[in-house]
Chain A
Amino acid sequence: MEKFHTILSSAVPLPIEEVDTDQIIPARFLKATTREGFGDNLFCDWRFHPDGSPKADFVLNNPVYSGQVLVAGRNFGCGSSREHAAWALSGYGFRVVVSSFFADIFRGNALNNGLLPVQVSDSFLHAIFSAIEANPKAMFEVNLENQAFTIISTGQSEHFEISPYKKMCLLNGYDDIDFLLSLKDKVASFEQGHEKVLIQ
């Protein structure tokens, strides 16, 4: 996994609530057997007409907006557990998703792919949308080390939560699986004492 360094970027606003993973990447694109290429179909049905031409009113088709940060309404990533949603967002080029609330499974999938979910208060989310509205090129700083998200134009900053373990993984580019593999002996001894009736 790629190491996560401090990011200074403009942001793409998506002020819609309850964005489910079927919108992020519709199921008909889940037939691929690799992790690559999903970014091309990110938000496909919001982004393209059935004939493949771009929908002018969708934010990703508006050249005014760009950046590595996606800012969305509350309960982002609800629904299906498909990790393809995280692959699609990363594949498109996002490194950070900001919302006032994330669905549990999406949050985990994002963190496992070096995509940082930044949960902020409703009022701060509103402030971010306002900053982008005032200037579509407004810059934001995402500092994982200090767990701070800053609106550069106003200087407003908010602290965000992340587990110390996941923070360490992101900063160093470690996967969970490396860690779990290192526990092999502990798992084996756990199995010795585990209720036999459960695993027979």
Chain B
Amino acid sequence: MGKTLFDKIWDAHVVTQVEGGADVLYIDRHFIHEVTSPQAFDGLRARQIPVLRPRQTVATADHNVPTRGQHLPISEQLSRFQVEKLTENCTEFGLELYGLGHHYQGIVHVIGPELGITRPGMTIVCGDSHTSTHGAFGCIAFGIGTSEVEQVLATQCVLQKKPRRMRITIDGQLQQGVLSKDIILYIISKLTASGGTGHFVEYAGSAIRSLSMEARMTICNMSIEMGARGGLIAPDETAFDYIRGRAFAPQGEDFEAAVEYWRTLYSDEDAVFDTEHRFRAEDIEPMVTYGTNPGMGIGISQAVPDVPAGSSEQTFQKSLSYMGLHSGEKMAGKPVNYVFIGSCTNSRIEDLRLVAAFVKGKKKADNVYAMVVPGSKQVEAQAKAEGLDLIFQQAGFDFREPGCSACLGMNEDKIPKGEYCVSTSNRNFEGRQGPGARTILASPLTAAATAIAGRIVDVRDTLN
């Protein structure tokens, strides 16, 4: 019987098995950031042990950094201390750090791929659940906790129970105005926020294969939002072309040798998945969420539903009450005062180009504050080189410096209590963007169109 792509990569990384089914999995690449690593370094110090393979760990500061005035010391004391702690730890343990001010700094899941550190066939972990992003390159990438960060630093391994395999196939042609963000929000709305738990997902089908690498990253990024440990896509010419020539990608003959290996990374025709789902690309509309988990999403033409089967009335009503919405209400037309374009889901150069092309020559609505936060220093520099910063400025958008920003309500960028925010980020949990903030997840195009109109719009109406 054939093997799935997931099995091929996983099996090639098992150092040994433990009684009871857990595998000791070797980790090729480890990313760390300031929030989930300090306690892990304390653990190493307490045991008086070094980092086993310092060249396989790369650090950056992203969650807790301000997105303006990055050349100045961080004004918030605890944030500054945490970022300084990362610098101290990287110096003490000999790790590469792309910290604040470095031209490679950025959101950890943006910089790994853009620097060519993320490559097919690898195992990649990071103390962040959106590590699933890297799976777009055909690697096994997943988020871990801080105890596991310590394990990887100390041993280059983690202990993991092998997840089950799920394949989600999407064939067909996307409608105009529908982006990869809409695909993944659609999938999660169908499978629910726990529908992928215990699984690793492979995304397949003609609609997936036709996507760019950046669009694929958006899909894999949100695998965790249906509970899946990660998601991956078989690497192809699109992936090889993306990697070629990147700062840390193999060069010359090494690259050709790597591509030869990468071409073996696909699920065999007779491979069997534990679970299979199929969707038609044509059925997918621009999506918005209405509730407080990413599974609570609807097509823009639809109304907020009644309690879905399998959900409890109490939980559902608590969610709608937090959002200030009721069943039967349409999201389209709803006034919105905040728009956030950024996060590890949608802050790459293609996202910024799409938004810039849409808002060029237009002006944001008076009631709206709209921010665009690039995913990295490299994205920021590229956007400026293309004059996108001027387009944003002329449209009245605030173009910031790189970081996780208003995705998670940790740094200075927060949405005020009670306000709706149409956001290109990945989580609409209560308080995610700040205490009392009401998040509506959407694609960069829907976010841009909302900022211009001052209310939620069906972006398809504005494209015709």
A interface, CB within 8 angstroms of B: 15-18, 20, 22-23, 26-28, 30-35, 45, 50, 73-75, 78-84, 86, 101, 103-105, 108-109, 112-113, 163-166, 175-177, 179-181, 183-184, 186-187, 190-191, 194-195, 197-200
Contacts and interface: CB of A to CB of B under 8 A. Distances in A.
29 contacts: A16-B315, A20-B293, A23-B430, A27-B432, A32-B78, A33-B39, A33-B42, A34-B42, A50-B417, A75-B227, A78-B227, A82-B35, A82-B145, A86-B145, A104-B227, A109-B147, A113-B147, A163-B21, A163-B22, A163-B161, A164-B19, A176-B148, A180-B157, A180-B159, A183-B16, A187-B24, A187-B26, A197-B257, A198-B121
Nearest to B15: A190
Interface string B414-433: 00010000000001011110
Contacts of B229: 104-105
Nearest to B83: A31
A197 B251 CA distance: 11
B254 A177 contact: no
B410 interface: yes
B79 interface: yes
Contact of A177 (B42, B129, B150, B257): B150
B347 interface: no
Given A33-B85, A112-B145, A183-B155, A200 B197 contact: no
Given A18-B315, A22-B432, A34-B39, A81 B128 contact: yes
Nearest to A75: B194
Given A33-B85, A165-B19, A199-B28, A16 B155 contact: no
Interface of B: 12-13, 15-16, 18-22, 24, 26, 28, 35-36, 38-39, 42-43, 47, 49, 52, 56, 63-64, 78-79, 81-82, 85, 119, 121-122, 127-129, 143-148, 150-151, 154-157, 159, 161, 163, 193-194, 197-198, 224, 227, 229, 250, 254, 257-258, 261, 292-293, 311-312, 314-315, 318, 408-410, 417, 427, 429-432, 435
A20 B224 CA distance: 12
A45 B431 contact: yes
Contact of A74 (B64, B127, B194): B194
B257 A75 contact: no
B159 A179 contact: yes
A31 B156 CA distance: 26
Given A33-B85, A177-B43, A198-B121, A73 B145 contact: no
A27 B20 contact: no
B169 to A, nearest CB: 23
Contact of B36 (A15, A50, A83, A195): A83
A16 B318 contact: yes
A177 B151 contact: yes
A35 B39 contact: yes
Contact of B154 (A34, A103, A177, A197): A177
A144 B312 CA distance: 30
Given A23-B430, A163-B22, A112 B293 contact: no
Contact of A50 (B127, B254, B429, B435): B435
A75 B193 contact: yes
A104 B261 contact: no
Contacts of A163: 20-22, 161
B155 A187 contact: yes
A91 B255 CA distance: 49
Contact of B194 (A18, A23, A165): A18
A78 B192 CA distance: 12
Given A22-B429, A112-B147, 5 more contacts: A22-B408, A50-B417, A80-B408, A163-B161, A183-B155
B257 to A, nearest CB: 6
A83 B140 CA distance: 21
Contacts of B36: 30, 81-83
A34 B81 CA distance: 12
A183 B161 CA distance: 17
B431 A22 contact: yes
Closest 3 CB pairs of A and B: A83-B145, A164-B20, A33-B38
B189 to A, nearest CB: 14
A160 B4 CA distance: 31
Contacts of B161: 163
Contacts of A79: 129, 224, 427, 429
Nearest to B248: A200
A50 B49 CA distance: 43
A84 B155 CA distance: 22
A150 to B, nearest CB: 24
A177 B155 contact: yes
A117 to B, nearest CB: 13
Contacts of B38: 33-34
Contacts of A112: 145, 147-148
B141 to A, nearest CB: 12
Given A18-B315, A194-B26, A181 B129 contact: no
B147 A175 contact: yes
B155 A198 contact: no
